Amino acid sequence: MDTSDLIVRDPRICGGQAVIRGTRVTLRTILASLADGDGVEQIVRSFPTVTEAQVRAVIAVAATAADDDLPLPGAQI
């Protein structure tokens, strides 16, 4: 999934944190809501400037980042 049109990072917006384009809603905020048990629909209701596609893009970015950070099977930590 190409998320570059949905998620941006600009040093002038929210201190350079990744945000949903056109908003000041950070990826961290969306991920915290998901971690608290909110579903996509609830997040969209809570943040009216955010769409379902944007929430799904945040999930995709987090999944990619998590995959990059996971140790290889059998690797010593």
Helix or strand (DSSP H, E) at 73: none
The residue among 69 and 14 whose pLDDT is bigger is 14
Q: Does domain 7-61 have CATH number 1.10.10.10?
A: yes
How many angstroms separate the CA atoms of 41 and 39, rounded?
A: 5
Here the tokens at position 46 are 């809570």
Confidence of residue 3 (pLDDT cuts 50, 70, 90): confident
Dihedral (CA of 40, 45, 47, 51) sign: positive
Query: For the segment 5-55, what is each residue's pLDDT rounded down to a tens digit?
Result: 889 999 999 999 999 999 999 999 999 999 999 999 999 999 999 999 999
List alpha helices for the chain, DSSP H.
27-35, 40-46, 52-69
What pLDDT score does 38 carry? Answer: 97
